[in-house]
């Protein structure tokens, strides 16, 4: 029960990694506020969590809106009495080279993947300081560190998340707030599977093919990334701050 008495915010909590993480955090004693644009996803997750005896609330909204990001933090403090952990997990993946990237794709990638983190961290740090410290985990990607092909907006936004994390990690370690990022390679979630579907491929077959490219034998399941995020959010990682942690199954970026 590493999170007994702790309050956590998880963005994108209704998605692949998000759900696994909310199950993990609530299962280990945290009260969790989920921020996600999917009302249906939040409602079905709440049923699961409540059936398992966990404590969870959600606020549906669009992370591109500053007022929504600020409301997520304010309502978490109001409802649960504070905030100890912020996991900026929500993300989107526009695909294409620069010549295939519209203004809208570019701005949306930066707004969801990066600027929402800026609003959420800026709002969450003062209440964390008031509790004597906390932990922030941002989701970057190995493609933020070693850009993959034909995803310029995505790779740029995730690269900025890595720098943002290191900056905050340095600035707020003296406040007892550890800021780290997780940089996963491929994960078996709706984000990855919808990409295969869009290309007319069977997602199960495509994942089986992809598994052969990973030295550890398979791409990550959402729980395998959630476990790393939970570690970074817990006091077990108390000497890790301002780091980007690559989680790849030993697969290099091609």
Active site amino acids: 154
Smaller CB distance to ligand NAD: residue 60 or 173? 60
In whole angstroms, how close is the CB of 13 to ligand NAD at the nearest point?
7
Smaller CB distance to ligand NAD: residue 17 or 232? 17
Give the N- to C-terminal CA distance of the chain in Å, as an integer. Answer: 39
- Cα distance between residue 88 and residue 200, in whole Å: 31
Give 39's Cβ-side CA count (13 Å radius): 1
36 sits near ligand NAD (criterion: CB under 6 A): yes
Smaller CB distance to ligand NAD: residue 108 or 234? 108
Per-residue interface string for the shown chain with ligand NAD, residues 101-130, x marking contact by CB under 6 A: -----------x------------------
In whole angstroms, how close is the CB of 130 to ligand NAD at the nearest point?
26
Per-residue interface string for the shown chain with ligand NAD, residues 200-239, x marking contact by CB under 6 A: ----------------------------------------
- Cα distance between residue 94 and residue 175, in whole Å: 36
Q: Two tokens at 219?
A: 């791409």
Would you list the DSSP string of 64-89?
T-HHHHHHHHHHHHHHHS--SEEEE-
List CB contacts of 241: < 8 A, sequence separation 6 or more: 169, 173, 178, 179, 180
Which stretch, 44-52, 90-98, 99-107, 210-218, contacts ligand NAD (CB under 6 A)? 90-98
């Amino acid at each position: 029960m590493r999170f007994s008495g702790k309050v956590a915010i998880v963005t994108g909590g209704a998605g692949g990694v998000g759900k696994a993480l909310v199950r993990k955090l609530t299962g280990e004693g945290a009260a969790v506020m989920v921020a996600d644009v999917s009302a249906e996803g939040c409602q079905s997750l709440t049923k699961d969590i409540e059936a398992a005896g966990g404590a969870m609330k959600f606020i549906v909204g669009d992370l591109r809106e500053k007022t929504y990001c600020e409301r997520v933090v304010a309502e978490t403090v109001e409802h649960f009495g504070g905030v100890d952990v912020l996991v900026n997990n929500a993300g989107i993946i526009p695909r294409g080279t620069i010549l295939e990237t519209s203004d809208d794709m570019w701005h949306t990638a930066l707004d969801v993947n990066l600027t929402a983190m800026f609003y959420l961290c800026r709002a969450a740090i003062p209440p964390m300081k008031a509790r004597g410290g906390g932990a922030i985990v941002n989701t970057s990607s190995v493609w933020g560190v070693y850009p993959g092909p034909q995803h310029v907006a995505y790779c740029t936004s995730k690269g900025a998340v890595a720098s943002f994390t290191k900056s905050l990690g340095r600035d707020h370690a003296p406040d007892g707030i550890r800021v780290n990022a997780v940089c996963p390679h491929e994960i078996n979630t709706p984000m990855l599977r919808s990409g295969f579907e869009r290309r007319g491929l069977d997602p199960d077959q495509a994942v089986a093919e992809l598994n052969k490219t990973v030295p550890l034998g398979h791409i990550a399941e959402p729980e395998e990334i959630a476990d790393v995020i939970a570690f970074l959010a817990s006091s077990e990682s108390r000497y890790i701050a301002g780091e980007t942690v690559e989680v790849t199954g030993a697969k290099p970026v091609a």
